[in-house]
Amino acid sequence: MRKRLLHLLLCAALVLSLLAVPTAGASNLAFVAVNDTIPLTLSGGELPFYSNGVCYVPYTVFSSVDIYPVYSATANTVTLTDRSGRLVYDLGGGTVTDENNTTQPMGAALRNGIIFLPAAYSAAHFGVQCSVLTSSGGYTVVRFTTGSQVYDDGLFITKAENLIAYRVEQYESAQSKPEQPSQPDTSTPSTPQQPNQPGTTPDPEEPEEGEPVTVHLAITDGVTMDQSLALLQTENLPAVFFFTEQELLERPYLVRQITVAGYPIGLTVDDADNRPLEEALRAANHALDGILGRKTLLCLLPETAEAAALESRYCVYYQPSARLTATAAAKSHGESVLLICDSTQLSAGLTILQEAEASFAQLTETTVLS
């Protein structure tokens, strides 16, 4: 009798665990909610998944709730930190260690070159609750709540339906956008622009056939970043915003606004800054820590030997003297490229890339460029 009862309880637990797994949406999309907002849309290889009943999300997602994620290629770890706690995931050992040096088996996962972490376990360590919801259209919504939420899960998902439907419509419209026929150019040829103006250098050659380019956007110029942010949010495109120390000190409110919108912050240096790169980065990280309570490893630096020497301590992406243009990027079929631009270049560049059916991906510490 006791064995039969145990068997029934195990069956019931299995059924409940299966019911708790949300179904996939009709489109290749999922969403991340924070309290009563939905700042992030996930697609492609970033989609959450279940393993042994545990929901996994990309490790970069946790920055949306002020939990700072850091990937270290040297140590083969991902660290989550806030002002009071720490979790270190050993990617090779399949363990996690907290701020008290307590280690237990709880592994990260690697899919499509993206590192995933267990959502609920990771969030709970920092006092954040996590629930996995399903919209009426079958789309997964991973919701983090910090105690500042107004709606419970049921009411939140009901109120979020219109926004989810709008995001899905935008995504599907972009995916099904027909190729525009090329029109003959009857205008008078103009003088070629400088290389740092994406998409403005004429090129008489026809683009080669091949797979569309994958573009990683790096946004610079702190003075106009609010314009870039507005455009990227409208287009629902990923990017990293790179600030100098001076820009961080002058516009802390913009840094917070960008972070709340779900975009990562990186560091760069001013051309007129004569300090050693490491000193300039340390000062910029100190300024960022004063604003957000965390630091970053993402850096956009000049292509020099001094910058290369910092690769063991930072995730360095290079800013060449002649930047890649949007026109050239659109012709980099099948490649993964970094496009550096500010608000004066972004709109025209996006138009060129979208017409070329380029895909856009988030630049992270694990991104490999062609």
48-62 tens-digit pLDDT: 999 888 999 999 899
What are the domain boundaries of the chain?
22-172, 214-360
* Percentage with pLDDT > 90 across the chain: 36
Question: How far from chain centre, in Å, is Cα 139?
Answer: 19
Amino acid in position 124: A
Report the alpha-carbon distance of residue 145 to residue 230 in Å, rounded. 25
Q: What is the pLDDT of residue 297?
A: 84
| Lookup: tokens for 242 | 């790179």
Q: What does pTM read for this prediction?
A: 0.49
| Per-residue model confidence (pLDDT) at position 201 | 39
Q: Among the listed ranges 29-43, 175-189, 299-313, which one has the minimum average pLDDT value?
A: 175-189
Q: Specify the CATH number for 22-172; select among 3.20.20.140, 3.30.457.10, 3.30.70.270, 3.40.50.1000.
A: 3.30.457.10
> Is 203's pLDDT higher than 70?
no
Average pLDDT over residues 73-90: 87
Distance between CA atoms of residues 140 and 78, nearest Å:
25
Query: May I ask the CATH architecture of the domain 214-360?
Result: Alpha-Beta Barrel (3.20)
Lowest-confidence region among 55-59, 104-108, 209-213, 278-282 = 209-213
Residue 97: pLDDT over 60: yes
CA 191 to chain centre: 37
Q: What's the mean per-residue pLDDT of the chain?
A: 81
Max avg pLDDT among 16-20, 188-192, 232-236: 232-236
pLDDT attached to residue 7: 43
Read off the pLDDT of each residue in 161-182 and give the average, rounded to a whole number. 73
How far apart (Å, rounded) are the C-alpha atoms in residues 248 and 288?
7
pLDDT at residue number 180: 52
The enclosing H or E element of 310 equals: none
Least reliable range by pLDDT among 27-31, 64-68, 172-176, 282-286: 172-176
Name the H helices within the chain: 2-19, 119-125, 153-159, 161-175, 225-235, 245-250, 252-260, 277-292, 305-308, 326-330, 343-355
